[in-house]
């Protein structure tokens, strides 16, 4: 016989709910942080690119090469010269804009050459392996072992300074750098089961490369290329600083720093302005590369 259930009075009301293990606010902060890490550097880069390439088309800027000596050493925010003029009276903002064009032209060209030649060789080496890989990898090793700046100096000295020569000289460094990364990424992909599955399905070599390898290594190459553009811009600045890069009268950030260096103590802004432009550009490229790497989960 079942005893009637006793009346139970709870000593206390229901216990408070357990704290959620997932902190909603922290999750939101993380998501916002991730978005900021991507879009802030991307926005900065878009702004810099717009100032360098679009602004001169819309607004007529003072000459970046010729100035009036009467209006030299104007301080920043002078009428008609937003960042002032240099010793020769040349507008500093214009030099910054046209120097930025050169920096991006060289940086992007070297990276594209690096992807086209180094990337192709890297995929071939990684995919075919064996003696092909051995030969290509040794060539990369030799090229990387060359001190890039010294080699660029030799090329500029031998062929004469020009933007084209600067690009080729820096490509000697860019090609093996991209090539090595591509080869490594290809090796990783080649070992995955879907490559075997594609081979089993009877897919031919070149199709395996274009359909299965290239799309899978593309994120790695893109993130690496962004970092690469930054490195190339710095190297190009160094070449210009030494006087072996872009020939006169074209403006460049490296040359601006070199010119300003002579009167560094009197007018530090001549060195500071192009240096800050260089710093912001390279930092934005690096941060964007890192943010994309985080997002795509590439190495």
Site string for another protein, 229-268 (x = CB under 8 A): ----------------------------------------
CA gap 96, 94 in Å, rounded: 5
**Is residue 297 at the binding interface for another protein, with CB under 8 A as the rule?**
no
**Is residue 68 at the binding interface for another protein, with CB under 8 A as the rule?**
no
**With respect to another protein, which residue has the nearer C-beta, 44 or 214?**
214
Structure tokens given for 204: 């031919």
Residue 93 Cα to chain centre, angstroms: 23
**Is residue 286 at the binding interface for another protein, with CB under 8 A as the rule?**
no
Residue 296 CB, shortest distance to another protein, in Å, is 11
Residue 145 Cα to chain centre, angstroms: 22
Subset of 188-207 contacting another protein (CB under 8 A): 192-194, 196-204, 207
**With respect to another protein, which residue has the nearer C-beta, 215 or 249?**
215
**Scanning the structure block, which residue is given the tokens 């190009």?**
236
**With respect to another protein, which residue has the nearer C-beta, 39 or 194?**
194
**Is residue 298 at the binding interface for another protein, with CB under 8 A as the rule?**
no
Residue 24 Cα to chain centre, angstroms: 34
Instruction: Pick the stretch among 78-86, 168-176, 208-216, 252-260 that binds another protein (CB under 8 A).
Output: 208-216
Give the total of residues touching another protein (CB under 8 A).
Answer: 17
CA gap 127, 137 in Å, rounded: 13
Residue 97 CB, shortest distance to another protein, in Å, is 39
CB-based burial label for 107 (10 Å; 0-12, 13-18, 19+) = buried
- Helix, coil or strand: residue 78: strand
Exposure string of 245-262, with b = 16+ CB inside 10 Å and e = fewer, is bbbeebbbbbbbbbbbee
**Is residue 212 at the binding interface for another protein, with CB under 8 A as the rule?**
yes
Residues lying near another protein in the complex (CB under 8 A) = 192-194, 196-204, 207, 211-212, 215-216
């Amino acid at each position: 016989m079942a005893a009637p259930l006793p009346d139970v009075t709870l000593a206390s009301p229901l216990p408070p709910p357990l704290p959620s293990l997932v902190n909603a606010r922290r999750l939101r902060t993380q998501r916002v942080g991730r978005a900021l890490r991507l879009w802030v550097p991307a926005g900065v880069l878009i702004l810099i690119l717009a100032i360098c390439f679009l602004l001169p088309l819309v607004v007529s800027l003072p000459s970046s090469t010729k100035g009036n000596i009467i209006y030299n050493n104007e301080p920043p925010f002078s009428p008609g010269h937003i960042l002032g003029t240099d010793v020769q009276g040349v507008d500093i903002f214009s030099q910054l804009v046209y120097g930025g064009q050169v920096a991006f032209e060289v940086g992007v060209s070297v990276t594209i050459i690096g992807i086209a030649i180094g990337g192709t060789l890297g995929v071939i080496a990684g995919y075919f392996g064996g003696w092909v890989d051995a030969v290509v990898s040794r060539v990369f090793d030799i090229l990387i072992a060359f001190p890039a700046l010294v080699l660029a100096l030799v090329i500029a000295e031998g062929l004469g300074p020009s933007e084209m020569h600067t690009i080729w000289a820096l490509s000697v460094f860019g090609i093996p750098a991209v090539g090595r990364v591509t080869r490594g990424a290809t090796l990783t992909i080649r070992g995955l089961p879907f490559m075997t599955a594609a081979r089993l399905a009877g897919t031919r070599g070149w199709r395996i490369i274009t359909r299965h390898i290239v799309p899978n290594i593309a994120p790695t190459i893109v993130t690496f290329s962004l970092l690469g553009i930054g490195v190339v811009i710095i190297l190009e600045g160094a070449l210009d600083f030494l006087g072996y890069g872009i020939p006169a009268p074209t403006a460049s950030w490296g040359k601006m720093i070199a010119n300003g260096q002579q009167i560094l103590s009197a007018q530090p802004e001549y060195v500071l302005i192009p240096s800050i432009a260089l710093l912001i550009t390279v930092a934005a490229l690096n941060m964007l590369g890192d943010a994309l790497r985080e997002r795509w989960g590439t190495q």
